[in-house]
Amino acid sequence: MCLSLCVSPASAGIGRDRIPAVPRADLPATADDGVSARADLPPSAEFSIVTPGPGTELSGFVAPESVDPLHGYPSLGYDPSALRRRDIARAGIMRGARTDGTLVRAYCFDLDHPARGRMAYRFGSWGEAPARNLGYITRVIHEYYPNTSQPAGLSESEKAAAVQAAIWFFSNRYVLADTDPLFPATSGIVGQTLRKGPLQEPERPSLTISGPDDVRAGAVSGPFTVGGTAERAAITATGGEMFEDAAATRPIASGTELANGASFYVRSAEPGELRLSAKGSIVHPVGQAAVYVRETSRRMGFPKRGQKIILAEEVPVIVIIEKVIVVGEVPPPPVHRPSITVEKWVRPGTYSHVGQRLHFKLKVTNNGDVALNNVRVADHMRGLSHVRCERTTLAAGQSMYCTATYRVHRKDLRHQFVRNCAVAHARTLESGMFVTSQRACAQAFGHVPVTG
């Protein structure tokens, strides 16, 4: 037996349902149209059922499990002998309300469980409220009352009841008696819906802030991005400041509205927590399911399982979400290890006469972890040409080559070797620290040809 504002408790006789009374004294908050909402919702609930909306009585049957609604609605004059009789005193829209006064209008899609006044619900997903043919049910709601004027030629209450009857046909195989005045309208709704096919589950509304969960004190961090389905959101920073750019040249005042997809950066001077909050309007769409929130206070009259309901109209809701960012200590400055090396070669490796040219080649390498400038080679060999190098700055890991020449003298023939050594000097680019390499040497040997 189903107790509901869509389907009410069965009375004596053939089991016709009736609407339960909802005491006004229990409903302190008031929606825009005078619908009252309870102020003591369970923590996870978002609205409560309050009063019936437009609707009227139905006369019909529940078909057996073997009947597939996707095969179509029974024709006028069908044989009801295999069906179970079920007349409903009132079927149509149920009305709920949030504590902020926002009105929620919904249809039922479950004849097996109750939904009565003051029962609490939260917005959910199809997966949380499974039922047959939710895609077809959503199509019905989108294309008929209250989102359009269809089905035509009926009063508001009759339209709501005809739509509800079509929904129950898809969810619970509920078939109107062919003598019910709403049979033609409901049959037409089902036929048109089957021809057009099901809709997909609507996107669940959300408001998000994405970005790093950990930052360093004093550092500009990000980007953080406003996301979800809200068009805009007011962003507030507690424990830090916000900027449009990573260089922190364009500040954003706390509480500024940012568009969906907008990015920003943050900076916090001290270790601890930086809290970002976003306040915006999201819209729960037509076709979103709502899930019963079971009472934990053991109040009399609230069932263990509740009716499944689906939104008949959009429900705009103001939401506030928060992202907590951990701000870590400022890391100590890195310990740099500047270093420079030099290697040296001479070509040819031998000489035989005065005036012969010896070519010295040097490879200078920054093998430290910081950039170097004022890089030069000191080579004080008498008679050596000026040492020419490719550049005067070296990034960490970078090398360059230098060259110089020397002409052999008579003393070199007498000594039978030429030895030349050099060192490289530089300064670090940031601190100006002086860096010197170890000495590198190269040697050519004299060779005097023996004549007859």
Band (127; pLDDT cuts 50, 70, 90)? very high
What residues contact 93, with CB distance under 8 A and at least 6 apart?
52, 53, 54, 55, 105, 106, 107, 146, 160, 164, 312
Mean pLDDT of 95-108: 91
Q: Look at 331 and 420; give whichever has higher pLDDT.
A: 420
Q: How far apart are CA 209 and CA 351, in angstroms?
A: 75
E strands in 285-416: 289-293, 309-311, 315-328, 340-347, 350-351, 357-366, 372-378, 388-389, 399-407
| Mean of the per-residue pLDDT values of the chain | 88
Q: How far apart are CA 290 and CA 387, in angstroms?
A: 83
Band (301; pLDDT cuts 50, 70, 90)? low
Would you state the pLDDT for residue 3? 36
What residues contact 191, with CB distance under 8 A and at least 6 apart?
72, 73
Would you state the pLDDT for residue 451? 56
Q: Does residue 390 contact residue 424 with C-beta atoms inside 8 Å? A: no
DSSP three-state, residue 173: coil
pLDDT tens by residue, 336-372: 889 999 999 999 999 999 999 999 999 999 999 999 9
Residue 131 burial (C-beta neighbours within 10 Å; 0-12, 13-18, 19+): middle
CA angle 439, 444, 445 (to 5 degrees): 135
Owner of token pair 């009947």: 67
340-446: CATH topology is: Immunoglobulin-like (2.60.40)
Q: How far apart are CA 58 and CA 72, in angstroms?
A: 20
Q: Does the structure show a pLDDT above 70 at 305?
A: yes
Q: How far apart are CA 155 and CA 164, in angstroms?
A: 14
pLDDT above 90 covers what percent of the chain? 75
Q: How far apart are CA 39 and CA 57, in angstroms?
A: 31
Residue ranges covered by each domain of the chain: 24-201+286-312, 207-284, 340-446
| Six-digit token string for 298 | 């053991």
Task: From 102, 125, 48, select the one nearest 285 (Cα to Cα).
Answer: 125
What's the alpha-carbon Rg for the chain, to the nearest Å? 42
Task: From 80, 108, 106, select the one nearest 176 (Cα to Cα).
Answer: 80
Would you state the pLDDT for residue 39? 64
Q: Does the structure show a pLDDT above 90 at 13?
A: no
325-to-101, 216, 240, 274, 387 alpha-carbon distances in Å: 33, 10, 10, 5, 56
Q: How far apart are CA 375 and CA 437, in angstroms?
A: 11
Band (99; pLDDT cuts 50, 70, 90)? confident
Distance of CA 252 to the CA centre of its chain: 22
Task: From 78, 110, 180, 191, select the one nearest 143 (Cα to Cα).
Answer: 191
Would you state the pLDDT for residue 12? 27
| Six-digit token string for 420 | 């030349």
